[in-house]
Amino acid sequence: MPAIIKVNNLSKKFKKINAVDGLSFTVQEGDVYGFLGQNGAGKSTTIRMLLTLVKPTAGDISIFGKNLFTHRGEILKDIGAIIEKPDLYKYLTAFENLALFAKISGIKAEKSFLMDHLKMVELDERAHDKVHTFSQGMKQRLGIAVALVHNPKLIILDEPTNGLDPQGIADMRTLILKLSRQMGKTILVSSHLLSEIELVANKMLIIHKGRKMIEGKVAELLDPSKSVVYIETLNDEKARQVIIESSWQRYLQPGAKGILLKMDKEQIPVLISYLSQLDIGILAVKPTHSLEDYFISLTTPNNYVESSAN
C-alpha cells in the first residue's frame, strides 16, 4: 500500500517546551491509524502541523507522496478534518450548514447529494432542524459530513469522542468503521482512550511528551500472550546495542525511548541472564500484562517508566 502520510523527525518547540520531539511515522492507504496519547502529549500540535496550521520547528511531512509545504493547496483539497469541536452555524439547519460548506468548497451540490451525506451520518431525519438543538454527538457527526462533502482521500479526526456520552461514542465508532470499510477512506484518528482506538484502528502510535513510544499493528501490540517489558540498565546504550546484535533484536520495540521489548513472559528471565553474562548491569525490569497497562504506566504523572527513562 502507498504511504498517504509520511512524517520524518518532526519537531515543534514553543519557547522552551518541546511539544513534538523528533516524531516519525507512516500512515498507509486504507489505514485507520490510531494516534494515541494523554492530553498534552503533542497529538493536536502534530495534527495542526499536518494541516499547515502550525509551522514545524524541524522535520519533513509528505502527504500523497508530495511535500506538504510546497504543494499545500493541492494536498489540502484532498483532506477532510475535524480539530476538537466542528465549526458549525448553530442557528442554521443541518442541511443549510452542509450546503454552505459545499458552496465554500466550490461544489455545486444537488439536494439529493447533500441528503445522502446527512443520511450517511444518520442525520437525514434531522436535516431541517437547527444545529443548536443537536447533542454534541450529533454535531460531531454533522462535522464529519461537512469534512466529507468534497470527497477527500484522507480524513483527520482529533479526539472525535471528546464530550460524548456512551451512545455518542458508539455512534462515532460505527461511523469511523463505515468510512473505512464501506467508503475506503484513510483515517488518522487521535484519542487518549486506548479502548476506543483498539476497536477502530488497524495500526496505532503511542506518543508521550511529544515522542514516539511504541508503534505497530493493533492486533500484534494487543496480543494477550505477550508482555511489554521495560528494562533499565547501568548503560542503556550498550545494552540496546547488545540486543540489536543478537537474536533478541526481534523483540525490541522500534522508536521507543529506553529499552522496551515485547515477548512471552517466560523469556524475560532468559534475557536478563543473557545480559548479565555480558556484564550489563540490570537496575530494574518492569513487565506489564498488556499494552493498556503499559500505556497507563507510561502516561501517568510520576510513573515508574517515565522517571526511569529520563
Helix (H, G, I), strand (E, B) or coil at 121: coil
Of 208, 242, 275, the last residue of a domain is 208
Of 157, 182, 208, the last residue of a domain is 208
Question: Contact, 196 vs 161, CB < 8 A?
Answer: yes
- Give the chain's domain count: 2
Range of the domain at 251: 223-309
In a domain, 45, yes or no: yes
What's the pLDDT at 111? 93
| Of the listed ranges 45-49, 142-146, 262-266, 268-272, the one predicted with least confidence | 262-266
Is 245 found in the same domain as 170? no
Tens of pLDDT, residue by residue over 182-207, are 999 999 999 988 888 888 999 999 99
C-alpha cell at 9: 523527525
What's the pLDDT at 223? 74
C-alpha cell at 281: 548491569
C-alpha cell at 4: 498517504
Alpha-carbon distance of 168 to 182, in angstroms, equals 20
| Residue-wise DSSP of 16-84 | TEEEEEEEEEEEETT-EEEEE--TTSSHHHHHHHHTTSS--SEEEEEETTEETTTSHHHHHTTEEEEES
Is 56 found in the same domain as 16? yes
Kindly indicate the confidence band of residue 261, based on its pLDDT and cuts at 50, 70 and 90.
confident
10 Å Cβ neighbour count for 223?
14
Is 280 found in the same domain as 193? no
In a domain, 26, yes or no: yes
Kindly indicate the confidence band of residue 304, based on its pLDDT and cuts at 50, 70 and 90.
very low
| Of the listed ranges 48-62, 122-136, 177-191, 262-276, the one predicted with least confidence | 262-276
> Region 175-184: what's the mean pLDDT?
91
Q: What is the pTM of this model?
A: 0.78
Is 78 found in the same domain as 16? yes
In a domain, 216, yes or no: no
In a domain, 121, yes or no: yes
In a domain, 182, yes or no: yes
In a domain, 218, yes or no: no
Residue 235 sits at φ, ψ, to 5 deg, of -145, 85
Is 236 found in the same domain as 88? no
In a domain, 217, yes or no: no
Kindly indicate the confidence band of residue 310, based on its pLDDT and cuts at 50, 70 and 90.
very low
Is 263 found in the same domain as 159? no
Is 24 found in the same domain as 163? yes
CATH of the domain at 126: 3.40.50.300
What's the pLDDT at 290? 61
Alpha-carbon distance of 246 to 23, in angstroms, equals 27
Residue 231 sits at φ, ψ, to 5 deg, of -120, 130
Is 76 found in the same domain as 136? yes
In a domain, 150, yes or no: yes
E strands present in the chain:
3-14, 17-28, 32-36, 58-63, 66-67, 79-83, 154-158, 186-191, 203-208, 211-217, 227-233, 259-263, 282-288
Q: Is the pLDDT of residue 309 over 50?
A: no
Q: Is the pLDDT of residue 75 over 50?
A: yes
Kindly indicate the confidence band of residue 289, based on its pLDDT and cuts at 50, 70 and 90.
low
CATH of the domain at 241: 3.30.70
Average of per-residue pLDDT values in the chain: 87
Burial grade of 191 (CB within 10 A; 0-12, 13-18, 19 or more): buried
Angle at 197 between CA 137 and CA 259, to 5 degrees: 150
Is 169 found in the same domain as 146? yes
Kindly indicate the confidence band of residue 128, based on its pLDDT and cuts at 50, 70 and 90.
very high
What's the pLDDT at 272? 87
Kindly indicate the confidence band of residue 305, based on its pLDDT and cuts at 50, 70 and 90.
very low
Is 262 found in the same domain as 195? no
Of 177, 208, 239, the last residue of a domain is 208
Question: Contact, 46 vs 211, CB < 8 A?
Answer: no
What's the pLDDT at 117? 92
Tens of pLDDT, residue by residue over 84-117, are 778 899 999 999 999 999 998 888 889 999 999 9
Q: Is the pLDDT of residue 153 over 70?
A: yes
Amino acid at 299: T
Sequence-separated (6 or more) residues with CB below 8 Å from residue 215:
25, 203, 204, 205, 206, 254, 255
Is 228 found in the same domain as 193? no
Is 271 found in the same domain as 129? no
Question: Contact, 23 vs 7, CB < 8 A?
Answer: yes
10 Å Cβ neighbour count for 275?
22
